[in-house]
């Protein structure tokens, strides 16, 4: 791995850690407030499933970031867009592995902590991710990559991973 790619990956890891700390610092009080007012409570009997989902989501995100660096020459974070359409690695299976993994992490936290507030947040985030991707990201990618992206869209599902055709 080149020095530039190594530092790109390091920047992604640092940004992810910083984002997680911000979510914990500011999100935890909001979640506690939501949990206290939720019309239902979750059991922690499914915490094991939450841990499995969390591990899978982290692996998905790491694989997506690795694919961005390896096949796109950049990290994909704002200001460091890939130089080429990334349709390799996990991107052969699903078009939006980062959003999918991010939402899966929220679902996993709801199960691990038995938090109705986090579950409500996950339910709200899913359609917001979808709207952002459909209304903002996909048109921008079509403009940037043209027919290559349109072909990729036809071959690769947006949200539910499937083996490449």
Q: What confidence score (pLDDT) does residue 91 get? A: 92
Q: How far apart are CA 15 and CA 82, in angstroms?
A: 17
CATH of the domain at 18: 1.20.120.1630
| Residue 18, in any domain of the structure | yes
Number of helices (H), then strands (E), in the chain: 7, 0
| Residue 161, in any domain of the structure | no
Largest distance between two CA atoms of the chain: 52
| Residue 160, in any domain of the structure | no
| Residue 162, in any domain of the structure | no
Q: What confidence score (pLDDT) does residue 28 get? A: 72
* Host domain of residue 118: 3-155
Q: What confidence score (pLDDT) does residue 53 get? A: 94
| Residue 132, in any domain of the structure | yes
Q: What confidence score (pLDDT) does residue 42 get? A: 83
Q: What confidence score (pLDDT) does residue 9 get? A: 63
Q: How far apart are CA 75 and CA 9, in angstroms?
A: 7
Q: What confidence score (pLDDT) does residue 122 get? A: 87
3-state secondary structure of 62: helix
pLDDT by 10-residue block (mean), the chain, 165 residues? 65 65 70 81 89 92 87 74 87 92 89 88 88 91 93 92 81
């Amino acid at each position: 791995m080149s020095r530039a790619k190594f530092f790109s990956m390091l920047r992604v890891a640092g940004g992810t850690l910083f984002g997680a700390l911000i979510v914990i610092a500011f999100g935890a009080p909001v979640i506690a407030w939501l949990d206290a007012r939720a019309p239902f409570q979750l059991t922690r009997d499914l915490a094991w499933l939450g841990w499995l989902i969390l591990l899978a989501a982290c692996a998905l995100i790491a694989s997506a970031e690795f694919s961005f660096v390896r096949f796109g020459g950049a990290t994909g974070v704002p200001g460091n867009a890939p130089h080429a359409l990334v349709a390799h690695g996990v991107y052969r299976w699903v078009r939006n592995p980062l959003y999918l993994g991010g939402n899966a992490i929220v679902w996993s936290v709801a199960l691990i902590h038995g938090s109705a507030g986090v579950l409500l947040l996950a339910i709200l985030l899913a359609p917001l991710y979808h709207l952002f991707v459909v209304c903002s990201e996909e048109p921008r990618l079509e403009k940037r990559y043209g027919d290559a992206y349109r072909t990729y869209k036809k071959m690769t599902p947006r949200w539910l991973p499937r083996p490449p055709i």
